[in-house]
């Protein structure tokens, strides 16, 4: 039935060689728009960090020579940050996606 009305397929391959064979086979069977996407699981490190806010009000007004710098405690804001680990442990895989046009469109 799929050969008549057309459709889409998505295949997972654990290695690039298998993915290449799938692409070749799909192409020879009349599938079009064959795309291959590498998939890798990555663990992000999510943290809440306090980031000091810069006080730039002193730029708005000119100081006289007699004024001294007054140190005030710096305000800080909390931000959620995300970083990737230095090393990526995991196994890659490949998704192959293709479309088979309907019989009348081939």
CATH number of the domain to which 37 belongs: 3.40.50.150
pLDDT at 101 over 80: yes
Do the domain assignments include residue 52?
yes
- Of residues 42 and 73, more confidently modeled: 42
Tell me whether strands 32-40 and 92-100 are parallel, antiparallel or unpaired: antiparallel
**Gap between the Cα atoms of 59 and 34, Å rounded:** 58
Checking if the pLDDT of 35 tops 80, the result is yes
Structural domain for 93, as ranges: 7-56+73-100
Element (H, E) at 98: strand 92-100
pLDDT above 70 covers a percentage of the chain that reads 78
Domain count, the chain: 1
Q: How confident is the model at residue 5 (pLDDT cuts 50, 70, 90)?
A: confident
pLDDT for 1 beyond 60: no
Burial class (CB in 10 A: 0-12, 13-18, 19+), 37: exposed
């Amino acid at each position: 039935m799929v050969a008549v009305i057309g459709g889409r397929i998505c295949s997972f391959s654990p290695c690039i060689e298998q993915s290449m064979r799938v692409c070749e086979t799909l192409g020879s069977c009349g599938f079009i728009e064959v795309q291959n996407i590498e998939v890798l699981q990555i663990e992000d490190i999510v943290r809440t960090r306090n980031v000091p806010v810069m006080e730039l009000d002193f730029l708005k007004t000119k100081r006289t020579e007699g004024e001294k710098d007054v140190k005030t405690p710096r305000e800080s804001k909390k931000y959620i940050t995300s970083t990737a680990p230095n090393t990526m442990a995991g196994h890659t895989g490949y998704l192959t996606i293709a479309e088979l046009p309907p019989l009348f469109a081939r």
